Structure formats: structure tokens, C-alpha cells
Amino acid sequence: MSKYVLVLVICSIPFSACMRKNVCKTIEDYRTIEHNPNCWYNPDVGASPAEIIKGHGYPFESYEVVTKDGYIVTLFRVPHNGTNFGAKKPVVFLQHGMAVDSSCYLYLGEKSSVFVFANNGYDVWLSNSRGTKYSSKHNKYSVYDPAYWNFSFHEMAIYDLPAMLEFIIKMTGQTGHIHYIGHSMGTTISYIYSSLMPQHAKRSLRTIVSLAPVAFLDHVSPLVRAIVPFRYLIWDFFASLGLYGVGPNVQFKLDIVLQMCARYPFILICSNLGDLAGTNQAENRASTLPVSAAAQLSGISLKTLLHYAQIIDARGRFQYFDYGPYNRKIYNSTLPPEYPIYKIKIPVYLFYGRRDLLATEKDVYHLYEKLKTEKRIMEVFNFGHNNFLSGLHALDLYQMILKLIQ
């Protein structure tokens, strides 16, 4: 037993102290990481967004915002690139996906989207939704209280996002001019918010840019669909353990993941984890795997997973959370209502990947047909679900977005 305790103690030491070289050019290079010239030390591995941003020479600001239902969420800001400050700048708002936080927009170091936008004259704001590492506080509950985790992306859309946007407008004066860029669940949040609160959205946003859009989930991978019938058994199992969410209350997992994802052969597992959601190995950057591994499981509620599973099972319905026998009391209907995405008034631009098994081509076109606002399906990339954040051609994507919003 003692030797396992010792391993955990060693791996709780800052990663740079455990192993100076922590990233490599190729997967195969990780075999001989200690002596391989294709491997080097990257200080971004295991670093916070503040450390990464300031480490690359950019200004960093952090703000706490209280939502109407008592959650305290954190916004990060890169107001300029250190030289082009002074004049009022257009705002870019970056919303992360499920089980990660704002770190996902910093996987590529100095080539990350945050810095691309800042270098092109944008005031960049990064969301950290409720339950994540940087937004784990509540006026009443702690992350150890089951009541804290009683939310899905629905609450993020109707509480977190409006509060964040109102704060940004107050700070910048950019009413109706914020460019919203979301990935995966970040797109789901934007559709719910702008359909249920269309006037608020019109006062706040200028465009919605969707990377790997997730609304309808009729054509997800067979492996994902195979899990769906067991969703309530899984819920009951974790509920019996008193576990309704995974997040900042189990931070030791990050040390273990960091150690695993910079060691051969374990890095092979990390590099293939994306296969469940669809990936293109040719787009993967071996050097970013330890960086992205550190940001995984930042925080997720069990209810969020269950909500997505319900939508998969609903076959063609982008719907509210299904409370079963309580639907009649809550919604005055036996079925949960569908989100009225036809009410969205903000221009929506959809980017999807050919290898994506969650945001599939058929489902994205289904969403496109349902939207009644100005809309476009942009050039298709040969991306898997997470290649939008760290793929070899991610910079090409950012340049396309820049041209679009400019």
C-alpha cells in the first residue's frame, strides 16, 4: 500500500519538477523523452490560463460575476496584445465545451486563438461556466453539496451567459457588438440562450460562430448511442455514491493524467481518447497532448451528461431536460418542450468537421434547416471533434473566423 501512496506523492509535485522534458514532436518520441532532442519543456503544461497568458507576454484580467441563481462564475480577459491598447476594441467572447474550461482556447501556446484575436485588435473574453475549476463557487452551496450540481447546459445558457454578457457590456460599452465563438457544448449554450432570450441576445451579440455545432444528435457514433439506454442506471449508480458532478473536488486526477499523458505507452491512450467523439489522427499535435490533458475534466455535472443522452434518445428533438413523470407539473406537457431555435435573430455561422462523430454533417444540416436567421455553413475541415481547438490546421480556421467577423 505504501508504494502507491509514494507514487501519488511524487506525482503531486509540480510537473516540471517530475520531468523537465514534458512534450515531444511525435508520439514515438515519447518513448525516449528524457534524452530525445525532439522533446522539450513546455511551461504551459499544467499551467493555469493566467500563467499561460502572462507567460506569453499578454495582459490578463479576471472577474467574478454572480448569476441570478447564486453561482459565482469567472471571466478571464485579454484586453489587448500589450501594444495595441487605448482605443475601444471589438469584443470576442470564447465559450468552452463540456468537461473543460477556458484553458481549451490556449492549447497551442503562442499560436492559440486567444492570442490570434488579441493580435488582430480584439478585446478577448473567456468564459468559465459553472462547475468548472475556475467557477466552482456559489452563494449557498459548495461543490460537495449535491444541490450545487443540479444544472445542465440549460442553466448555463439562461443564467451564466446573460450575466457574463451583461458584465462585458458594462465594462466595454459594446452593446450588440460581441462576437460569440463557441465549441461543442459552447454552441449548445448559444442556441438555447439566443432562442429563449432573443431580445437579450440581440442587445448583446453581433454574430454566433459555432465550432462543432451540437444541437440535434441523431447521428452520433454507435458507441455513444450504445451507452444511452443505460443512462438512468448510470445516474442511479453515481447518485448512490452521492456523486452528482466531477470537478474541482477531485483535483488529484490532474496530476495522474499529466503523468500518464506524457509517458509512453500511456500517451497512446490519451491520443486516442478523442475517437469516441471522432478524431483525425493526422490533425493531432503530439506536443499539445500533455497541455490538453491537463484541462480535461475541469468540471461536469452528471445532469449535463444525462441531458445530452436524453436528446440523443429523443431522435430529432432538441429539447429541455426530461423529468419523466414530473414533466406535466413542470412543463404542463408529458414531453419536455423543444428549444425554439427558429426565434434566433443573430447571424449564425456553422463550422463542422468531416471526422466529427458528435457534431455530424447530417445533424449540422438539420440544425441549419431549422434556423430562420441569417446563416451559413462554412468551409468543411477534415477535423474530428476536438481538432477545432488544437488541430494542425486550427490556425487556418482562426484566419477564416477573423475574415468572417471583420
Residue among 56, 96, 183, 385 flagged as catalytic: 385
Task: Determine the pLDDT at residue 262.
Answer: 66
Dihedral (CA of 176, 118, 61, 144) sign: positive
At residue 97, what are phi and psi to the nearest 5 degrees? -95, -160
Quick count: other Cβ atoms within 10 Å of Cβ 164? 26
User: How do 61-66 and 71-78 pair as beta strands?
Assistant: antiparallel
Residues 131, 99: Cα–Cα separation, whole Å: 9
All three cell numbers of 310, joined, read: 436524453
Residue among 29, 123, 322, 356 flagged as catalytic: 356
Phi-psi category of residue 269: left, alpha or beta, with phi > 0 → left and psi -120 to 50 → alpha: alpha
Residue of 133, 168, 126 whose CA lies nearest to 296: 133
Residues 347, 336: Cα–Cα separation, whole Å: 27
Residues 301, 308: Cα–Cα separation, whole Å: 12
Q: Is 385 a catalytic residue?
A: yes
Residues 314, 397: Cα–Cα separation, whole Å: 32
Q: What is the pTM of this model?
A: 0.92
Residues 305, 188: Cα–Cα separation, whole Å: 13
Residue among 103, 113, 152, 184 flagged as catalytic: 184
User: Which whole-number Å values give the CA distances from 405 to 91, 137, 347, 400, in the listed order?
Assistant: 10, 34, 11, 9
Residues 210, 229: Cα–Cα separation, whole Å: 29
Task: Determine the pLDDT at residue 165.
Answer: 98
Q: Is 101 a catalytic residue?
A: no
Residue 76 near residue 102, CB atoms below 8 Å: yes
- The amino acid occupying position 226 is A
All three cell numbers of 75, joined, read: 471571466
Residues 246, 297: Cα–Cα separation, whole Å: 7
DSSP 259-312: HHTTSTTHHHHHHHGGGGT---GGG--GGGHHHHHHHTTS-EEHHHHHHHHHHH
Domain boundaries, the chain: 50-405
CATH 3.40.47.10 fits 50-405, yes or no: no
- The amino acid occupying position 4 is Y
Residue 212 near residue 356, CB atoms below 8 Å: yes
**CB under 8 Å to 118, separation ≥6 — which residues?**
58, 78, 80, 81, 124
- The amino acid occupying position 216 is F
- The amino acid occupying position 205 is L
* pLDDT, tens digit only, all 406 positions of the chain: 333 333 333 333 443 444 589 999 999 999 999 999 999 999 999 899 999 999 999 999 999 999 999 999 999 999 999 887 777 899 999 999 999 999 999 999 999 999 999 999 999 999 999 999 999 999 999 998 999 999 999 999 999 999 999 999 999 999 999 999 999 999 999 999 999 999 999 999 999 999 999 999 999 988 889 999 999 999 999 888 888 988 765 555 555 665 666 677 777 777 766 555 656 678 888 999 888 887 777 889 999 999 999 999 998 999 999 999 999 999 999 999 999 999 999 999 999 999 999 999 999 999 999 999 999 998 888 999 999 999 999 999 999 999 999 8
